[in-house]
Amino acid sequence: MTMIFIGKLMMSSVIDVNSGIDIPGFKIHQCDAMSLLKETLSNSIDLVITDPPYESLEKYRSIGTTTRLKNSQSSSNQWFDIFPDDNFEELFIELYRVLKKNSHFYLFCDQETAFKVKSIAENVGFKFWKPLIWDKMKMGMGYHYRARYEFILFFEKGKRKINDLSIPDILSFSRVYKGYPTEKPVELMEVLIRQSSLPGEKVCDPFMGSGAVGRASLKNARHFLGGDISSDAYQLSLSNLKNETFELLGK
């Protein structure tokens, strides 16, 4: 477990991010998403943005349409474990519990997973608003219309306004090349964070990968609580979040 706070309390290792102190910082764990959430207090998180390794990713990888996700000699990245579709209900129940009453939840997924999980999330209490589109601005792999976008399902617990009504539902940011497998652009995460939280609030990503949500949280003065089951992802996030912290301190 790692905790770092920016500012006077940066060296502290005893202050818990759950204490509500409004100094942006992060707390990350190498652990299963369900364990992280089960240990998180009810009604303690202001925003969840997450990108689980859904089952259909593995299907496309195995038939070779997502070649950039394969392990390769030129990449040190290992492909990660898949989160089974059958586990989404338990995940959503926990996310609903840890989120504060009026809050938002964004889920990255493809169309196949979107159709499966929408009703599961609604059944546990979330209101589904709409799918946002992440436009990657360049075509990827595929046989039946080559892939250029990904869904970001936009859910709500209770009622919370988005902060800027002028933002469109198609968000265009180039994909990250040669990064962690399926790494998302930090700038894309920053849009979601600015729309659905305020400085000092707490953002959670239990499948953090490279820590893109965490980096975007720190850049926008939000606290970050993250986890990933993989040791490589944990180490990468730790390094990325520390670098982000040092850059912010240098400003």
Ligand X SMILES: C[S@@+](CC[C@H](N)C(=O)[O-])C[C@H]1O[C@@H](n2cnc3c(N)ncnc32)[C@H](O)[C@@H]1O
Q: Give the binding site for ligand X (CB under 6 A).
A: 32-33, 51, 53, 80-81, 83, 180, 182-184, 206-207, 209-210, 212, 227-230, 233
Please report how close the Cβ of residue 205 comes to ligand X at its closest, in angstroms.
7
Q: What is the sign, positive or negative, of the torsion defined by CA atoms of 186, 187, 188, 192? A: positive
Query: With respect to ligand X, which residue has the nearer C-beta, 5 or 54?
Result: 54
Least Å distance, CB 200 to ligand X, is 23
Which of residues 12 and 85 has its CB atom nearest to ligand X in the complex?
85
Residue showing the smallest CB distance to ligand X in the complex: 209
Smallest separation (angstroms) from ligand X to the CB of 101: 26
Q: Least distance (Å) from ligand X to the CB of residue 20?
A: 25
Q: Of 96, 149, 101, 107, give the one whose Cα is nearest residue 129.
A: 107
Residue 197 or 210: the one with the smaller Cβ distance to ligand X is 210
d(CA 117, CA 113): 6
Q: How far apart are CA 213 and CA 205, in angstroms?
A: 7
The whole-angstrom separation of Cα 51 and Cα 107 is 6
Minimum separation from the CB atom of position 230 to ligand X (A): 4
Q: CB nearer to ligand X: give 137 or 249.
A: 137
- To ligand X, the closest distance from the beta carbon of 34 in angstroms equals 7
Measured from the CB atom, is 12 or 75 closer to ligand X? 75
Minimum CB separation from ligand X for residue 83, in Å? Answer: 5
Report the candidate in 116, 122, 111, 49 with the shortest Cα–Cα distance to residue 84: 116
Q: Which is nearer to ligand X, 7 or 84 (CB)?
A: 84
Q: Among 192, 241, 161, which Cα is nearest to 50's? A: 192
Q: Which is nearer to ligand X, 102 or 111 (CB)?
A: 111
